[in-house]
Amino acid sequence: MFILYSIFVVSLIMLSAMIGFRLWELKNGKIPFPDGEGLGRHLHQFTEWEKKVWEDGREWSVRFLSLFLRLVIIVIDKMRKWMRHTV
């Protein structure tokens, strides 16, 4: 039980440290790490890629959801007709 309490306390401490660090970043308006040979450029490319994947994924998921719901409606209709025919 001591191990679980220890993990919980350490998690709370780290969570408060992360929130404090983020608030410090927002207050100062800068990232505390140096550029480090184009790190910002790589992070920007990753952000653009993530945005593209998110948009494509959203379109794909809407298309998949509409097809899935159409299939569910067709199956329910077929079952309803089959039950009516059986009765």
Q: Report which of residues 56 and 81 the model is more confident about.
A: 81
Burial (0-12, 13-18, 19+ Cβ within 10 Å), 49: exposed
Q: How far apart are CA 74 and CA 81, in angstroms?
A: 11
The residue-averaged pLDDT of 47-75 equals 88
Whole-model pTM above 0.85? Answer: no
The band of 17, judged by pLDDT with boundaries at 50, 70 and 90, is very high
Domain ranges of the chain: 1-31, 50-87
Q: How much is the pLDDT for 12?
A: 95
Q: How far apart are CA 25 and CA 31, in angstroms?
A: 6
Q: Is 31 left (phi over 0), alpha (psi -120 to 50) or beta?
A: beta
pLDDT in tens, 18-35: 999 888 887 887 766 665
pLDDT in tens, 62-82: 889 999 999 999 999 999 999
How many angstroms from the chain centroid is the CA of residue 16? 22
